[in-house]
Amino acid sequence: MTVRVAWCVRGVVRIPRGVEEGASFLVMPPPGAGTGHGPLRAVGGRHDRSRDASGERRGATTMRPRRCQTGVVSGLRRGRAYIYSPRQPCACDGGAPRTDGACGRIETRHGQAHAEMACAEHTNASFPTEAGTRLATVDALAPTTDHALLASLLERDGAVIVRNFASVNLCARIRADLGPHFDSDRADKSGFFPATTKRAHGVLRHSDAVAELVVRPLFIDVANEMLTSRYTYWEGQRQLSVAGKPQIASIVGFRVEPGGTQQPLHRDDADYHARNCDFPVMLGCVTALTKTTRSNGATVVIPGSHRWGPQRCPRDDEAIPAELDVGDATIFVGNVYHAGGANSTRFVSLALVRGLAVADRPGRDEARETIGVFLCKGTLRQEENSYLVVPPEMAKARGFSPQLLRLLGYGVCPPALGLYEYQDPMKVLFGVDDGETVQR
Ligand SMILES: O=C(O)CCC(=O)C(=O)O
């Protein structure tokens, strides 16, 4: 895997902590970088006058803001990396995929491969590289909208907008439940979420309204169709086939505040080290709790990017906003590139800069709020630890349905994942013995 340096501050490229000398890197342009943005330079590079074997100066690299480039981390100083770009083309801007390993894997100082982005049969496979330009929209209330239609659109585009996915009333209840969590959120130290994005975690613990949203049949049915894990194997001389349904990976509320920058484009499936042969392992459903627009930070998506190979780097100018009214949702596969958008509605700073009174610009300064329900295959570890969020006693006290308990991960993914005292916890802990209970 190439180290993705997805962000930079005032032209200074920072390498994530833990990267070793000799690692490959790929620099992506900063969100919204325009022609006015100067050349990027490396941290530490400004003072580094040394040259490499080919005579290039290590500092002051010449990466241009609108294109991706690859290189190697060539030095570490006081825990920070300085980098050097050999100005080689990368598949992400249309060049041929590199085969020399500089783009595609992390190498340690000893040259040992850490992780591959592609499985063996896909290493040299050719993948589509084009980005789509629009997202399909369906109405959940239309009689023709069902999970089969959604699955076909998701397979084609990677994402789909669903109008009227949840009622305005349910969204208002969820919004009220999430408010205190947003207010007490702490900044994400990894930089994956900008400091201006407030999150609400562990929300099933407190919110009956969220519990209602999670089991919306349209979403669950399409997830069952796309993420159910089916497997056939031998046990002695008996050939057995099993199927395990998806479960909740995480549920997160997002409030993108005015002035917020765009999140880095990413694939949720990356959490599972998934490669093209595994995709998709997740399905996301982001429901609007407030109106979401291009300017207030609607989720942005690159249609068609779920088909790309490991070398294709996503560009911010390829992402289009999924604009939603309250109750609409964007459903997307875990391998489509997407991100929380930038919120450019910041009012006060504009007013100050232009010398305007705050009252002269009413209606600006909008925070956008959404709730994301992310499911993953039943064979995988959940991103958010459900058993700590809703321990068994709490789940019993809340009267959660067998369906919700299984979505939380309390069921067994057959043949034998998630046993408790070598039995299905649904039976042992919750007294549920139905057609889905695994008998042991
Ligand atoms: O804020 C959003 O709209 C999306 C957030 C997201 O993509 C994520 O957390 O994985």
DSSP state of 271: G
Q: How far is the CA of 261 from the centre of ligand 1 (A)?
A: 13
**pLDDT at residue 120 in the model:** 64
Residue 74 contacts by C-beta under 8 Å, 6 or more apart in sequence?
21, 52, 58, 82, 83, 84
User: Average of pLDDT values for 237-252?
Assistant: 97
Q: Write out the E strands in 44-141.
A: 69-77, 80-88, 105-107, 113-116, 136-139
Q: Does 382 have pLDDT greater than 80?
A: yes
Q: What does pTM read for this prediction?
A: 0.74
Q: How far is the CA of 300 from the centre of ligand 1 (A)?
A: 9
Residue 43 contacts by C-beta under 8 Å, 6 or more apart in sequence?
12, 13, 14, 15, 80, 81, 82, 83
Q: How far is the CA of 368 from the centre of ligand 1 (A)?
A: 12
Q: How far is the CA of 167 from the centre of ligand 1 (A)?
A: 21
In the CATH scheme, what architecture does the domain 137-346+363-404 have?
A: Sandwich (2.60)
In short, whether 177's Cβ falls inside 6 Å of ligand 1 is: no
State yes or no: cis peptide before 415, omega within 30 of 0.
Answer: yes
pLDDT in tens, 161-218: 999 999 999 999 999 999 999 989 988 888 899 888 999 999 999 999 999 999 999 9
Give the ligand 1 atom nearest the CA of 286. Answer: 3
Pocket test for ligand 1, best of 193, 338, 371 (most atoms within 8 A of CB): 338
Give the ligand 1 atom nearest the CA of 338. Answer: 7
Q: Does 220 have pLDDT greater than 60?
A: yes
Q: Does 82 have pLDDT greater than 60?
A: no
pLDDT in tens, 133-168: 999 999 999 999 999 999 999 999 999 999 999 999
